[in-house]
Amino acid sequence: MRVFVSKRQRKKRAQRRLILGLIAVLLVAAIGGWLYGFIAYVKAMPQPDHRQQGVTSGAAVVLTGGPLRVTSGLALLTSGQIEQLLISGVHADFSTRSLTAIARGAKLDTKLDRLISCCITLGYAAHDTVGNAKETALWAALYEVTSVRVVTAQYHMARALLEFDAAMPHVAIIADPVFPPDVKQDTWYRWPGTLFLFTQEYSKLQLARLRVRLQQLLPNLRS
């Protein structure tokens, strides 16, 4: 039995197939672009030999997220590589006593009592990376800081630098990454936890890039 299909119906079907084909092409292109960018992000991630040995700067900011970041910041201060240290985004119940306990565990407490009163600021206002950048910008202006090291995990560094450059365009930002031992950077594809961490962070980075770009084009979007 033959089924009559009008010219209009054939045209609609052709249009539907064309639209579905375009959607499929765009979807494949988007996935391919995301994967390409993700691989580039992983390859560009700082390596352990990236640590800025001997580089001088007036100050450093630690973005909270693990004791390794805090001890790295304290090591910069106690060794005389920086003069001021901001620990940004600390929990409400974190105090100088908490800081002393961390320093004692890392054997960095010999000079800490003197440094706490003059050279360490605990920042409680920040709740995310954008907040870290804003909090640091205010602190840098207060202490007339012209260069600042950013101490955070290697996988977080790209997004941190993006936010800090946007918040403090006239301050030199120096990456000083730390390398958590539970993050399997070189064999990330074999470790589901690290793979999820990297994909999540890369997605956040892409959204941050979009937001920063929109804020540059439309300054009224800034909060």
Domains contained in the chain, CATH given? 55-223 (3.40.50)
**Predicted local confidence at residue 5, as pLDDT:** 58
pLDDT of 106 reads: 76
Length of the chain: 223
Sign of CA dihedral 72, 138, 88, 166: negative
- The 3-state DSSP class for residue 221 equals helix
The number of beta carbons lying within 10 Å of the beta carbon of residue 205 is: 20
Helix (H) or strand (E) holding 60: strand 59-63
pLDDT of residue 141: 95
- Strand-strand pairing, 147-151 and 59-63: parallel
What is the pTM (predicted TM-score) of this model?
A: 0.84
Which amino acid is it at 134? K
C-beta of residue 175 within 8 angstroms of C-beta of residue 50:
yes
What is the residue-level pLDDT of the chain in tens, covering all 223 positions? Answer: 555 556 677 777 778 888 888 888 888 888 989 999 999 999 999 998 766 555 667 899 999 988 899 999 999 998 889 999 999 999 999 888 888 888 888 777 667 777 888 899 999 999 999 999 999 999 999 999 999 999 999 999 999 999 999 999 999 999 999 999 999 999 999 999 999 999 999 999 999 999 999 988 887 666 5
Please say whether the beta carbons of 71 and 108 come within 8 A.
yes
